[in-house]
Structure 1
Amino acid sequence: MSKKNTLPMTIIGGGIGGLAAALGASEAGKKTAVLEQAPEFGEIGAGIQLAPNAMAVLDRFNLLNEIDKYAVYPQRLVLKDAYSGNELSELDLGKAFKERYGYSYTVMHRTDLHKVLLEACEKDSNITLLTNHKVIELDNNKEFIQITCDNGNTYEAESVIGADGLWSETRKHFVQDEAVCSEYVAYRGAIPMEEISEHADFDDVIMWVGPYLHLVQYPIRRKELYNQVAVFKSFQYRKEIEHSDEWGTPEELDEHFGRCVPVVQNAVQFMQRERRWPLYDRKPLNNWTDGRFTLLGDSAHPMLQYLAQGACQALEDASALADQLHDKNEVEEAFLAYQNERIPRANKVQQRARTWGDILHTDDSIATLMRNTYFQDRGAQDFEVVDWLYGHIVKQKEKTALS
């Protein structure tokens, strides 16, 4: 016998985006329920980069002091050639950067960020957290949304926010699309600092780039761990084996990075090889709202990792949603206004992440020369190249102040 209950605004998915959405809704005075399919709330993965546009949202939710307990604040973003070892470009993340954007560039362990958000939700009386709730059916009625879960529970929710990630079930309400495989895979490894060679730089975020590959390195968790992510294109990929482990193998990992400078070759030896992450995104949508139902984060705009903006854009979503819930009396109006604000921005970031990946991984000699010349000619405090990305929240605040 199924049990039927009513729920307030309901968020499907208890990841970074879902928890942030709950905090934003609570700030606007809304009660929410967060449905998580797993037995407990948690995150997998290792490092995460939080640019100023994300830090502004975490500040809005009064979480910077908690973030500071785990975070590392790097001094530079550095681009290096994985074949020659030459430094191609740097972005100074020091005083001038912080003054321009209002916040430091921050790196931390993904599970630590999730923990901070989860603890904030647990303390909030407006937020109910429910585990073991995998949603298997949604019926969008005019006055409520019926939610059916695999545990037998059925709910009537006042409204729904789908925040269930790249493999979203809620997205299917809007489009029957497939995730797009980039044919690249990532191997990750976060290892104790004492195991790192003397070549590691603990004050920088470093990206080594080469044809069809890159390696990212930076310290996390108060500089107790060193996070590394090795990414490469698999030439074994075929559509018929896409969902198997027959492509992007550890052997390919070694083959790709075996051509790099010794420091990169050495770093790859520390990768955890029992699991790899195929990299996917989806095509941008021009609508993700239907009355009392909307999407947020990777459910709405899953993107490739090359701009380190996936979680940042989910946090921007949560902030924009909170704004509209403050301003609009009806949830349908708030959801539609939220969508209208966010779709152009999120789609732009989504598309540019693809382009940035093409630039980083090019094997064309002329394109490589043009890329390297451009980066080598710019100064470390030439921030115009990232203004559109990192300065978004600052510009919004300035616009609000003028109005």
Structure 2
Amino acid sequence: MAHALVAGGGIGGLATALALARHGHRVTVLERQQTFGEIGAGIQLAPNGFHALDLLGVGRQVRERAVFVDELRLMDGTTSQKIVAMPVTGPYRRRFGNPYAVVHRRDLHAPLLAACRAGERIELVADAAVQRYTQDAAQVTVVTADGRTRTGDLLVGADGIRSTVRAQLVGDGAPSVCGHTIYRSVIPIAKVPRRLRWNAVTLWAGPSWHFVHYIIGGGDHLNLAATLDDGAREPVAGRPTPRAVVLARFPGLGDTARLLLELGEEWRQWVLCDRDPVEVWTDGRVTLMGDAAHPMLQYAAQGACQALEDAVALGDLLAGAGDDVAQRLARYNAVRRERTARAQLLAREMGSRLYHPAGEEAAARDAMLGALTEEDLYDKVSWLHGAQDFLRAAAG
């Protein structure tokens, strides 16, 4: 069996470790931070994500921490009128085989981490930032920031959108700044009026902005995320932002959405980035996964799900691997690139054409969505939410 090195101990890296260990490989996970943990706020999990988690052996543990929503709801952020809603209960679950849920990022990361810690074939190494790698026909060696080296049969770069493994493998520079600023806050549910504790992922769309909220933390907290298409060009990650600044940037919100936005506290700011899809993210015994391979904007709510799919696909394709590791990694790249590229481009399109139009374009969007039946909506998301065989789930 092979010895795999995994750069990055986030959701994708830990999922990859579990997938590879499940097929008998030994795995060393190298995490740049001093501890294994997860920052951020809420995350959405569609049925394809739950299917991957079940295959990784942690589906039950994530379900115990999740909030299962009743619908995905798009609202007019200025008039407070409903544009469209897609139920994700009975018929949806029967069609796609799993629920749709929201969790705090740590409630997804923690079960993955616990399973890795319990795995005899998995070694977790903190404070080990991978800086570069070398490889030959037989092995790959990584060098960490403190000068240490580790050698294995393959390297998986799961080190995020600013991946150092990608920088060497693809060499495409810094991520693209998309010009959208997002402000995030998580508040206790006790602060929220009972009439507004909707069991739904709700998005309020307005001209060049949108506002999303949903309950997380097993029902204990409300996740708030307000996004502005402001042409921002400098990347920002987690900058504390005064409440007054956030409120002043969204003056057009209708009464209900405004009330919820005003509940936010301890806001933090990000300027969103992604990358263009690439054809090749594998080089010999080195490959990428998740945000390192195909980082996407959050608008299709598929970033984590696609990383989980990658992990399962990698594990399955490397089952029984010997001297043919490079060929199997090339196959993984070929199997996954079309589907993930389509998800990347969909996320961009949703952020511009679906959530941010104004005037006649917004009216056309409302008419188009309002004409769709429940079954029509399911048909549109089927290629994403319905995937279960991640070695065959190409673009659609």
Deviation at 1:274, TM superposition (A): 5.1
Work out whether 1:213 is the aligned partner of 2:195.
no
| Amino acid of the structure 1 residue aligned with 2:48 | N
Aligned-partner Cα distance in 2 for 1:211–1:182: 17
Asked if the contact 1:54–1:315 (Cα under 8 Å) also holds between the matched residues in 2, the reply is yes
Tell me the equivalent position of 1:276: 269
Q: Return the match for 2:380 from 364, 371, 385.
A: 385
Aligned-partner Cα distance in 2 for 1:154–1:341: 31
1:2-46, Cα deviation, whole Å (9 max, x unpaired): xxxxx9210000000000000110111111000001110011111
Deviation at 1:209, TM superposition (A): 0.7
Deviation at 1:66, TM superposition (A): 0.8
Work out whether 1:113 is the aligned partner of 2:130.
no
Unmatched tracts of structure 2, length 5 or more: none
Tell me the equivalent position of 1:196: 192
Over 3 Å counting, the alpha-carbon distance change for 1:290 and 1:367 in structure 2 is same
Work out whether 1:51 is the aligned partner of 2:46.
yes
Q: Return the match for 1:65 from 60, 64, 69.
A: 60
Aligned-partner Cα distance in 2 for 1:158–1:392: 30
Asked if the contact 1:210–1:360 (Cα under 8 Å) also holds between the matched residues in 2, the reply is no
Over 3 Å counting, the alpha-carbon distance change for 1:287 and 1:192 in structure 2 is same
| Amino acid of the structure 1 residue aligned with 2:184 | R
Asked if the contact 1:232–1:253 (Cα under 8 Å) also holds between the matched residues in 2, the reply is no
Over 3 Å counting, the alpha-carbon distance change for 1:116 and 1:293 in structure 2 is same
Work out whether 1:371 is the aligned partner of 2:349.
no
Aligned-partner Cα distance in 2 for 1:136–1:39: 16
Asked if the contact 2:4–2:28 (Cα under 8 Å) also holds between the matched residues in 1, the reply is yes
Over 3 Å counting, the alpha-carbon distance change for 1:362 and 1:195 in structure 2 is closer
Work out whether 1:318 is the aligned partner of 2:311.
yes
Q: If the length of structure 2 is used for normalisation, what is the TM-score? A: 0.93
| Amino acid of the structure 1 residue aligned with 2:199 | D
Deviation at 1:364, TM superposition (A): 4.0
Partner SS for 1:33: strand
Partner SS for 1:392: coil
Q: Return the match for 1:76 from 61, 71, 74.
A: 71
Aligned-partner Cα distance in 2 for 1:380–1:201: 24
Q: Return the match for 1:338 from 332, 336, 340.
A: 332
Aligned-partner Cα distance in 1 for 2:393–2:290: 25
| Amino acid of the structure 2 residue aligned with 1:76 | E
Asked if the contact 2:336–2:391 (Cα under 8 Å) also holds between the matched residues in 1, the reply is no
Aligned-partner Cα distance in 1 for 2:238–2:14: 32
Over 3 Å counting, the alpha-carbon distance change for 1:394 and 1:26 in structure 2 is closer
Write out aligned runs for 1:115-264 (5 A): 115-173=110-168, 174-235=170-231, 237=232, 239=233, 242=235, 253-264=246-257
Work out whether 1:296 is the aligned partner of 2:293.
no
Deviation at 1:397, TM superposition (A): 8.0
Q: Return the match for 1:86 from 73, 81, 87.
A: 81
Deviation at 1:157, TM superposition (A): 2.1
Computed over aligned residues only, the root mean square deviation of the Cα atoms, in angstroms, reads 2.3
Asked if the contact 2:309–2:390 (Cα under 8 Å) also holds between the matched residues in 1, the reply is no
Deviation at 1:242, TM superposition (A): 5.0
Asked if the contact 2:208–2:358 (Cα under 8 Å) also holds between the matched residues in 1, the reply is no
Deviation at 1:271, TM superposition (A): 3.1
Tell me the equivalent position of 1:100: 95
Over 3 Å counting, the alpha-carbon distance change for 1:244 and 1:41 in structure 2 is closer
Q: If the length of structure 1 is used for normalisation, what is the TM-score? A: 0.91
Aligned-partner Cα distance in 2 for 1:395–1:342: 8
| Amino acid of the structure 2 residue aligned with 1:292 | R
| Amino acid of the structure 1 residue aligned with 2:113 | L
Over 3 Å counting, the alpha-carbon distance change for 1:362 and 1:227 in structure 2 is closer
Aligned-partner Cα distance in 2 for 1:257–1:244: 20
Asked if the contact 1:188–1:276 (Cα under 8 Å) also holds between the matched residues in 2, the reply is yes
Deviation at 1:250, TM superposition (A): 6.0
Q: How many residues align?
A: 390
Over 3 Å counting, the alpha-carbon distance change for 1:14 and 1:396 in structure 2 is closer
Asked if the contact 1:43–1:110 (Cα under 8 Å) also holds between the matched residues in 2, the reply is yes
1:283-335, Cα deviation, whole Å (9 max, x unpaired): 11110011110000000000000001111110010011111012654211221
Asked if the contact 1:192–1:224 (Cα under 8 Å) also holds between the matched residues in 2, the reply is yes
Over 3 Å counting, the alpha-carbon distance change for 1:333 and 1:249 in structure 2 is farther
Over 3 Å counting, the alpha-carbon distance change for 1:348 and 1:127 in structure 2 is same
Partner SS for 2:202: strand
| Amino acid of the structure 2 residue aligned with 1:134 | A
Aligned-partner Cα distance in 1 for 2:18–2:97: 22
Asked if the contact 1:79–1:208 (Cα under 8 Å) also holds between the matched residues in 2, the reply is yes
Over 3 Å counting, the alpha-carbon distance change for 1:361 and 1:102 in structure 2 is closer
Aligned-partner Cα distance in 1 for 2:244–2:20: 47
Unmatched tracts of structure 1, length 5 or more: 1-6
Partner SS for 1:229: strand
Q: Return the match for 2:27 from 32, 35, 50.
A: 32
Deviation at 1:273, TM superposition (A): 4.8
1:74-122, Cα deviation, whole Å (9 max, x unpaired): 0111110000001010111111111101000011110111001000101
Asked if the contact 1:202–1:223 (Cα under 8 Å) also holds between the matched residues in 2, the reply is no
Partner SS for 1:67: helix
Deviation at 1:394, TM superposition (A): 6.0
